[in-house]
Amino acid sequence: MAIQKTEAFVLRSQPFRSSSLIVTTFSRSFGKIKGIAKGVRREGTPHPSTFEPFTLLEIVFYEKIRSELHLLSEASVLKTFESLRGDLEILATAYYLVEMVDQLTEPHDPHEPVFELLHFAFQFLPSLPPSLIARFFEVRILNEVGLLPHFSSCVGCGQTHLERIYFSVKQGAVFCPKCRQKSTEARLLTGDVVEAILFFMEHGFTESAQYPLGVNTNREMEDLVGRFLTDRLGRWLVTKKFLNQVRSIKAFEARSEAT
C-alpha cells in the first residue's frame, strides 16, 4: 500500500461499525477519495468536527490498489469555513455544491479545478449572492467533467452565431430554429442565459464574482441545470430540494414582514 498525502475537502461522512467513520473527500491531487477513519467516534458524537462537511483537511492515507476504500491515518484541519453555517440559505447552497461534486465525479479521477471551485465557493458564499456562486459553480463543474454542451453551434447543421438557441435536455445539445424539430422537448433559451453561461465558461472567479446576474436569468439557468442534472443522474439532488424549501421559507417570512 502506498502512503499518500494531500489537501482535501470533506464531502460527507457516515458511521462505520462502533467507533469509525467512512469519510468521502475531494482532494487536490487525487480527486474523490473514500477512506475509513478508525476509532474517531467518541461516545455520543457520531460526526467528530474534524470530518464535518466543508472542512479543509490535510490527510494522509494508505492507498489500496484493489479497493476504492482506503485507510485514513492522519487528518489535520486547515480550515473549517464556519461562516457557512451562519445563514440557512448559504448552508443549504454549500450542501448543494458538495452533493454536485460527489455525484458528478468518480473516485481517483483528479480534477484540481473542481477542488479550486470548492475553495472559491466556500470562501465567498458568505459575502456574495449564493445564487451567483451556484450558477457559476454549475457551469464550471459541468464543463470540467465534460457534460456542458457547446453553445457556439447547432448540433443539427453546425450553424454558428445563432440568434435563437433551443436547448435539448435529453440530447444535451443546442439547435437552431430550423433544426428544432429534431428534438421536440427543446426549449428556447433567452440571450441573457446564453451570455451568462458563456461568460462563466470563459472567465475566472474574480471576474465572475462581479457578473450582473438578473433575477429572471438566474431562475432560468437554475431550472435549466436542474432539469439537465435530473436527466443525467436519474433523480433530483436531495440537497436541491432542501435548498428550495429554505428559499420558500425565507420568501414567506419576507412577505409576512412586509404585511
Q: Do the beta carbons of residue 111 and residue 101 sit within 8 Å?
A: no
User: Could you read off the pLDDT of 1-39 as tens digits, one per residue?
Assistant: 689 999 999 999 998 887 889 999 999 999 999 999 987
What is the bridge-based pairing of β-strands 20-27 and 56-63?
unpaired
- Residue 55: predicted pLDDT: 97
- Residue 42: predicted pLDDT: 65
Q: How far is it, in rounded angstroms, from Cα 102 to Cα 113?
A: 15
Rg of the chain, C-alpha, whole Å: 20
> What predicted TM-score, i.e. pTM, was given to this entire model?
0.92
DSSP β-bridge partners for residue 33: 25
- Residue 39: predicted pLDDT: 79
- Walk me through the domains of the chain, giving residue ranges and CATH numbers: 2-80 (2.40.50.140), 88-258 (1.20.1440.120)
Cell numbers given for 47? 460526526
What is the bridge-based pairing of β-strands 173-175 and 187-189?
unpaired
Ranges in the chain, pLDDT < 50: 46
Q: Do the beta carbons of residue 69 and residue 20 sit within 8 Å?
A: no
